[in-house]
Amino acid sequence: MGTSIKPILAVLLVSTTLIFSCNKEDDEREFPTPQNKAPIADAGKDTSLVMGPVEIFINSSNDQCQYQPMVAILDGNASSDPDGTILSYEWNIIAKPDGNSYPYIAEMRKSYTEVYFKDPGEYTFILKVVDNFNRMDIDTVKVMINATALPTDRQLSFSERNIFFHRLASNMQLVQYNNEFFLLDEMYGIDGEYDFPGSITRINPLSGDTNSIATPEPRFGMSLSQTDGQLILAGGILSNKAVTNSINIYDLNSKTWKESKMERRQYGATSFAAANQVLVTGGMRDEYSYGIKTDTVEILDLKTMKWTIAKMTQKRFRPIIVHDGSKVIILGGTDQATEASKATVDIYDLENRSWSHVDLKGEKDYQSAVAIHGKLYLSAYTKTFDMEGYYTSNYFVEVLDLNSQDLRRLCIEVPILHLQNYRDKLLMVPFSTTERFRNMILFDPANGHWKLGNNSTDLVYTLFSTGGPNSKMYGIIEDKSRQFNSWLTPFKLVEYSF
């Protein structure tokens, strides 16, 4: 019996056509693309830690001080992505207490990292995560660093007594004689013009009364010093812009001026006067020689009015001069901003009029110094330059024994701006104040005891003391309660009582 295949073929052809047609219609329909979900950032839980106690001590050597860092952990490992992979993590700080230094994030682009803190306070960090579809999410976490409570015997309380109000000048020098102060202030104007003061302001710190001592001629960039009731003005720029080599000496008893001439014309010099001798060095010879150093020291004998010339071991520009008994110590002024210089201290003996020097080892410069009983305390810094010319400053305090030449380091976890001798104790003012390091630090070298002063928002421009075991401490500070109708900032002269 034969069977016909034509009907079967017809059915197959129709079925194939229908299937093909259906597939074609399916291909032409639009299906939605699956939507990628964003990752979920998780910066962890807020944390609170306690910072270790403050430590201030003299190291056994001049090696760097070792401090136990305050470390917190930022952990973003709980971050997730529901349908992909997290490709990158990034940590940043978005809030910190005013005046505090930024904490150091060890691994900014890792999910888990350590963070190092120098100051107490509340810090807020943000974590950003990005997935393989370039979608991102953020989360924040807070870290509270609490300072260890300061014991009562470590607290330094002081008060301020206002004496005198004035403008804040760009060049302010103050000397003291018989419980009176003599102020020379100069201003480099905002328009580039010099202020040529024609007088010295005499201040009574008890009453605040003032009067003026007229100078022989108005000059800018004079150097002011004092010895045995004689005020000395060295060098300066005259009103015709010529640099002078004049030294003018005012006798506070006879109220008369006399004059001498330096060998070198200069302004902006550093000068020091004691034991009827005046030392002048480090000034500029004209308006265009800023930063040019000299190794010449000119010395005037006020009795004979004769000059001698001496040479320092290295050239300096506006160095620091301090004294301890008969020793006059010259240091700094090596201008590390442009070059690293070997640190050397030049010492002049006022009695036998001889010179010596001490090598302080290494390349560094100094911004403040004070001598207390044969020990020289130095606020030092070094600069480390990178390939692009940017630098990082490192600040520390050194202690030099002027007799044995032993050099040690005072370990203190904050950069120091000012050093002063207050009744045979070392008074220090940090660059900036925080809850941990207040605006005054008093260190007793005899027993290593120290105290931290109470907080103050005033900027300390300079400190000075009257000297001796019953000395008083004075400061020139920014006066935020008063404001002039100009770009000048007012200041006030205050007496500190501890």
Please name which of 315, 316, 379, 312 lies closest in space to residue 347, comparing C-alpha atoms. 312
pLDDT, residue 30, reads 56
CA distance 462 to 455: 17
Residue 236 CA, chain-centre distance (Å), reads 28
pLDDT, residue 296, reads 93
- Round the CA-based radius of gyration of the chain to a whole number and report it: 35
Residue 127 near residue 107, CB atoms below 8 Å: no
The per-residue pLDDT for range 391-449, each reduced to its tens digit, is 667 788 999 999 999 999 999 888 888 899 999 999 998 877 666 776 789 999 999 99
The per-residue pLDDT for range 173-202, each reduced to its tens digit, is 888 888 888 988 776 554 456 667 788 989
Residue 459 CA, chain-centre distance (Å), reads 12
Q: Is 2 left (phi over 0), alpha (psi -120 to 50) or beta?
A: beta
pLDDT, residue 190, reads 46
Residue 162 near residue 494, CB atoms below 8 Å: yes
CA distance 59 to 67: 12
pLDDT, residue 169, reads 53
pLDDT, residue 383, reads 72
Q: Is 298 left (phi over 0), alpha (psi -120 to 50) or beta?
A: beta
| Ranges of residues in the chain whose predicted pLDDT is under 50 | 1-27, 190-191, 336-340
pLDDT, residue 7, reads 41
Q: How far is CA 177 from CA 174, 183, 303, 377, in A?
A: 10, 12, 19, 24
Residue 335 near residue 293, CB atoms below 8 Å: yes
pLDDT, residue 16, reads 40
pLDDT, residue 185, reads 78
Instruction: Quote the pTM value.
Output: 0.80
pLDDT, residue 458, reads 63
Pick one of 2.60.40.10, 2.30.29.30, 3.40.50.1820, 2.40.50.100 as the CATH number of 47-146.
2.60.40.10
pLDDT, residue 157, reads 83
Name the residue ranges covered by the structural domains of the chain.
47-146
Strands (E), 302-424: 306-316, 320-324, 327-331, 342-349, 355-363, 365-372, 375-385, 391-401, 407-411, 416-422
